[in-house]
Amino acid sequence: MIGMDAMYSELYRKLSDACCCITVFIDEEKISEGTGFAFRRDGQVITAAHVVTGRVPIRDDDFSDPDVRVYAKFPRRELLEYRTAFRGITIMVKGFSSPIQIDQAILVPKDGVFTDFPFLPAQTKPPQLGEEVFCAGYSDEIEVPFRVNRILENGIKGREEFLRAMKMGYLADMTGPLIKRAVIGNICRVVAESSTQGISLQCDVFYADCAMHSGASGGPVVNAQGEAVGIITKRAVTSVSQSDASNLSVPSGATVGVSFQALDAACKHVAIHGAQHLC
């Protein structure tokens, strides 16, 4: 039992250190926030593409807007500005009224970094049905201790600086990410092909039986070996329609994730054909 406790403690520490709180701004307005994680020592980050754009469906012009600023805050590390190196994958499939979009993106530090980052290696092998996994993210379930960000009085010295820091993702220093254990309860394989774009991609969409909430999008789903096997894309919802509320839905208690097969295949495709064939 002691050995198992030590294993989980080390896994949770790695998860906490490798996750970052992502905030996205246009000028002084925060348009989006979520989670990402370093998957390489040089600080490159994987997140959900919609965390960068602040909306779905994903639009290419959101990534190219020169006024957009993306920041990542890792626990106990300085705030860094990032740029998008790889955006969400969009595939036009014949016979579909809307494109297929893979909600993943890769971010790289805008300026060079000179220290190694704690990271979670991304595993292209998807999780298996019934496998235990760990989900991490800066969910809005997390509250700053004593709710000091909400009860500081106007005029208190340092209040504005503190609130600005919180707005920029310094929640990472005060709380770290929320980590939950889960089991993979359902897996659906998605295959998308486009002859005009010369693309054939597949990925697994899976359901983990824990409830992660807003803010955790883009966070890692990790196996017991400490390898990232997917990212959190959204919380699952279910219909509770009533006669007077036919479209009423509530969170179901499960989290939806996406594996990395498509991201790996797309990166190889871009290396050969260029990004314009995907986006």
Residue 12 corresponds to which tokens in the numbers above?
């949770």
Residue 82 corresponds to which tokens in the numbers above?
């990032």
Residue 275 corresponds to which tokens in the numbers above?
């990004």
Q: What's the mean per-residue pLDDT of the chain?
A: 86
Instruction: Count Cα atoms within 13 angstroms, Cβ side, for 136.
Output: 29
The single residue listed with the structure tokens 């530090």 is: 109
239 band by pLDDT with thresholds 50, 70 and 90? confident
SS3 261: helix
Residue ranges of alpha helices (H) inside the chain are 2-18, 49-53, 60-64, 148-151, 159-167, 171-174, 261-273
Residue 110 corresponds to which tokens in the numbers above?
């805008």
* Bigger pLDDT: 87 vs 275: 87
* Bigger pLDDT: 145 vs 94: 145
Sign of CA dihedral 193, 197, 201, 207: negative
Q: Is the Cβ–Cβ distance between 93 and 193 less than 8 Å?
A: yes
The single residue listed with the structure tokens 């403690």 is: 9
User: What is the rounded distance in angstroms from the CA atom of residue 44 to the CA atom of residue 41?
Assistant: 7
Q: pTM here?
A: 0.87
User: What is the rounded distance in angstroms from the CA atom of residue 96 to the CA atom of residue 245?
Assistant: 30
Total H helices, total E strands in the chain: 7, 14
User: Which residues, at least 6 apart from 180, have a Cβ–Cβ distance to it below 8 Å?
Assistant: 134, 135, 136, 210, 211, 212
- pLDDT at res. 42: 93
- pLDDT at res. 198: 66
